[in-house]
Amino acid sequence: MSSEAEVSRAIIGSYTSRFLGHLQSDAIIVGAGPSGLVCAWRLAQEGLKVTILEKRLAPGGGIWGGGMGMPDLVVEKTTSPLLEELNVQCQEAGNGLLVASAAELAAGLVLAALRSGAALFNLTYLEDLVVKEGRVTGVVANRTFLGDNLPIDPITFDARAVADTTGHEFVAAQLLAKRGLLKGEHTGEGPMDAEAAEAFVVKKTGACFPGLYLAGMSVCSFYGGPRMGPIFGGMLLSGEKAAKIILKDLRKRH
Ligand SMILES: Cc1cc2nc3c(=O)[nH]c(=O)nc-3n(C[C@H](O)[C@H](O)[C@H](O)COP(=O)(O)OP(=O)(O)OC[C@H]3O[C@@H](n4cnc5c(N)ncnc54)[C@H](O)[C@@H]3O)c2cc1C
């Protein structure tokens, strides 16, 4: 029978070694919602060192709650190859739509990202960005519940690329906008128009500042696009597009 100290040692040893190994990454994905998890998964599949920071305990973001908390999730049929790759089952819902279990998709995305090699740090939130010579080169992070309540300094993670997949709050981009480093007015998302919003979010996915990329709802909030409500295809495709753009940019800079 192992001692309690051995259980603690196993947890701390495993966590610490992952933590130390990810203080410098190719890409940091801030926010483990659907767009962030797809982006992390695709980048890790390409062999990049990927670090996911998530402020909540559980990853998945808004996927878990379909609409009004009903765990049935709608995506466009164009995402079926991605769902098949994740081994997520879905049913035809007519009009080019599919319906799947929210829990299956959330679990499938988390598993795919982690099995591809991305590291997840939960209860860790982005507090600020590191900007050097006009480029984002890392993030300033703190432990959820600590930084907000106690005067405790954060720590930094370095990265060659940072993806803001924090959803409505577009936390990283807001930080730059507030300091006048990003042009335009960033007033948040517009009224609901699901079809237009799904196309908008994918089209506008990409860099908003050197080293900083937007995917998912943060695209809508940043550019003032329409909201889309409980349909998630755009989130998945946006994460996939962000990964392609990041990969191309990093290969160019190598
Ligand atoms: C409460 C709620 C409200 C919604 N409202 C709308 C709406 O108004 N309009 C609409 O079109 N759709 C809305 N949706 C549905 C929308 O499609 C989903 O939010 C979708 O999940 C967005 O995907 P995403 O990947 O962009 O981000 P999300 O699924 O929102 O995931 C973002 C993740 O980032 C994390 N995060 C946020 N800030 C930080 C930080 N500083 N550091 C680290 N992690 C951070 C969050 O905890 C979350 O896990 C809502 C969903 C939820 C759950």
Domains defined for the chain, CATH in brackets: 25-253 (3.50.50.60)
Rounded to the nearest whole angstrom, what is the distance from the C-alpha of residue 79 to the centroid of ligand 1? Answer: 19
Identify the CA nearest to 161 among candidates 60, 29, 33, 58.
Answer: 29
* Amino acid, single-letter form, for residue 58: A
Query: What is the number of the ligand 1 atom nearest to the C-alpha of 63?
Result: 21
- Dist CA 88 CA 106 (whole Å): 10
Q: 99, 93 in Cβ contact below 8 A?
A: yes
- Dist CA 205 CA 153 (whole Å): 32
The residue count of the chain comes to 254
Buried-state track 23-61, b at ≥16 Cβ within 10 A, e below 16: eebbbbbbbbbbbbbbbbbbbbbbebbbbbbbbeeebbb
Q: What are phi and psi of 159, to 5 degrees?
A: -155, 155
Instruction: List the pLDDT tens digit at each of the 254 positions of the chain.
Output: 679 999 999 999 999 999 999 999 999 999 999 999 999 999 999 999 999 999 999 999 999 988 899 999 999 999 999 999 999 999 999 999 999 999 999 999 999 999 999 999 999 999 999 999 999 999 999 999 876 678 899 999 999 999 999 999 999 999 999 999 998 778 789 999 999 999 999 999 999 999 999 999 999 999 999 999 899 999 999 999 999 999 999 999 87
Rounded to the nearest whole angstrom, what is the distance from the C-alpha of residue 60 to the centroid of ligand 1? Answer: 9
What pLDDT was estimated at residue 224? 94
What pLDDT was estimated at residue 165? 98
User: Ligand 1: which of 217, 219, 232 to mutate, most ligand atoms within 8 Å of CB?
Assistant: 217
Here the tokens at position 200 are 């908008």
What pLDDT was estimated at residue 186? 80
What pLDDT was estimated at residue 184? 78
Nearest CA to ligand 1 atom 20: 62
Rounded to the nearest whole angstrom, what is the distance from the C-alpha of residue 102 to the centroid of ligand 1? Answer: 14
What pLDDT was estimated at residue 1? 61
Q: For the whole prediction, is pTM greater than 0.85?
A: yes
Continuous segment of H or E residues that includes residue 214: strand 212-214
Q: How far is CA 173 from CA 46, 162, 189, in A?
A: 26, 10, 14
What pLDDT was estimated at residue 146? 77
Residues with CB under 6 A from ligand 1: 30-36, 53-56, 61-63, 65, 125-126, 165-167, 169, 171, 216-218, 227-230, 232, 235
Residues 6+ apart with CB under 8 A from 103: 64, 71
